[in-house]
Amino acid sequence: MKRLIAFIFIVILSFLVLLTSKNNKIFDYDYEKVIIVTKNENLLKDCEKIVNGDNFYFIVEKEKKDRVENLYFSNTLGVVFYYNKNLTFNSFNKRFNYSLFGGKSIEDREVFYGYDKNYSDYRILENKKVNVQLVRTENEWILGYPLIITGF
């Protein structure tokens, strides 16, 4: 009986540790806005919502960022963050511990790709797993999971 209680305690403790470790640091960073693309039309209340076919684009400005920090992203197709242009490429690499590659120029924008082991969805690009796209424009940085599906 003691072993069963100890086992249950360890399982519960492990589950709690797993839940807290899954919190992605991405929501802690000071973004200007985030756009969540989903099939779930009821994901967020009191936020701007754009409908495109059967996809819903929820736009959350930084003043309302507390609404997205603990969301369960059911049926999410992608999440796109917009950051201040004063950040540097190295600040993203250090903060999130990505393996970024690319640096290609597309229409005067620098485009990088990478892989975040904390995010399970991915695409294959140049024979590498990709689930993060980072773009530097003249006015901002745009970071998309798994890719920037809102355009840049």
pLDDT digits (tens, 9 = 90+) for 48-62: 999 999 999 999 888
How far is the C-alpha of 150 from the C-alpha of 52, rounded, in Å?
A: 11
How far is the C-alpha of 84 from the C-alpha of 113, rounded, in Å?
A: 19
Query: Is residue 9 one of the residues assigned to a domain?
Result: no
Query: Is residue 151 one of the residues assigned to a domain?
Result: no
How far is the C-alpha of 48 from the C-alpha of 127, rounded, in Å?
A: 37
Query: Is residue 15 one of the residues assigned to a domain?
Result: no
Residue 24 in 3-state DSSP? coil
Determine the structural domain holding residue 114 and report its residue range: 29-145
Q: How many structural domains are present in the chain? A: 1
Query: Is residue 124 one of the residues assigned to a domain?
Result: yes
Query: Is residue 12 one of the residues assigned to a domain?
Result: no
Query: Is residue 53 one of the residues assigned to a domain?
Result: yes
Query: Is residue 13 one of the residues assigned to a domain?
Result: no
Indicate whether this model's pTM tops 0.85: no
Query: Is residue 73 one of the residues assigned to a domain?
Result: yes
Taking only the tens place, the pLDDT of each residue in 108-142 is 888 988 888 877 788 888 888 888 889 999 999 99
Which residues, 6+ apart, have CB-to-CB distance to 3 below 8 Å?
none
